[in-house]
Amino acid sequence: MTAAQGAGPGRVAAVDLARTLALANMIAFHFMFDLWLLGLRPQGWGAWYLPWAKGIAGSFLLLAGLSLWLAHARGIRWRGVLWRLGQLVAAAALVSGATYAAMPDDWVRFGILHSIAACSVIGLACLRLPWAVTGGLGAAALALREPLRDAVPLDGAAGLVTGLMPQALVPRMMDYEPILPWAGPLLLGLAGAKALDRAWPALGRLTPETRLVRVLAWPGRHSLLVYLIHQPVLLGGLTAFVWLSGGR
């Protein structure tokens, strides 16, 4: 597909490598989380659990916004959009169902996959706005959740999804990234990608097309698959290790 037919700048190996790095960070986080879940109590976990988790979520949403521009800068390719959204929605439903079965008191009602899907739709709506306007909307999404929640609190599904549910009413869950403030990183990523639009061809040439780069970029190119399989493998392996070593 040519640019005139709607293709954006396309895949950039550096972006795939950045996504691989974000996945590695996520796997390291879940390794420590699983140790805690198994009662092994990593040192200082309570102090750095929340900032680390939110930093990982923010990195995925930032990269999702950036990738949105790379894929659709010259025109939205609706077949690709619908296919990707369908994958995200199905994967999000799978995560919700699996966590409900495993941990019914803390199941994921609106986690990172739900957020990427919903915020991507918002990003598509902002695709043709000037980059500065998109960046301003991203900053507003980060800054305005608390004032809006105080001014127009919502309950039920609307409050849960938008992030405007009063904190006291938010149910416990293992992962929660509502639209506010998490549309912020995605829109900032989209704005940054727009601002660099003319530079992407040169940026793409900076990363050599070597075998090592292709191997390292592979997880970033299949991030949804890695996301879905890493935790069952990791938790299952650690559980087996603890059991075989005779308990805690």
Could you please report the per-residue DSSP string of 8-20? Answer: -S---HHHHHHHH
- Integer-rounded Cα radius of gyration of the chain: 19
pLDDT, tens only, 225-243: 999 999 999 999 999 988 8
Closest CA to 13 of 146, 235, 206: 206
pLDDT, tens only, 74-100: 899 999 999 999 999 999 999 999 999
Q: State CA 108 to chain mean position distance.
A: 14
Contact 91, 113 (CB under 8 A): yes
Percent with pLDDT over 90 in the chain: 79
Question: What phi and psi, each to the nearest 5 degrees, are found at residue 110?
Answer: -150, 85
Could you please report the per-residue DSSP string of 167-201? Answer: GGGPPP-S-B--HHHHHHHHHHHHHHHHHTGGGHH
Q: What is the pLDDT of residue 9?
A: 64
DSSP designation for 110: B
pLDDT, tens only, 171-189: 999 999 999 999 999 999 9
More confident residue, 85 or 40: 85
The Cα–Cα gap between 8 and 67 comes to: 10
Q: Where are the domains of the chain?
A: 3-244
Cβ atoms < 10 Å from Cβ of 205: 11
User: b or e along 143-159 (b: 16 or more beta carbons within 10 Å of the residue's beta carbon)?
Assistant: eebeebbeeeebeeeeb
Closest CA to 24 of 234, 208, 182, 205: 234
Distance in angstroms between the alpha carbons of the first and the last residue of the chain = 56
Q: Which residues on adjacent β-strands are paired with residue 110?
A: 176
Read off the pLDDT of each residue in 109-125 and give the average, rounded to a whole number.
98
Q: What is the pLDDT of residue 3?
A: 35
Contact 9, 204 (CB under 8 A): yes
The Cα–Cα gap between 248 and 245 comes to: 8
**Given a cut of 80, is residue 198 above it in pLDDT?**
yes
Q: What is the pLDDT of residue 10?
A: 64
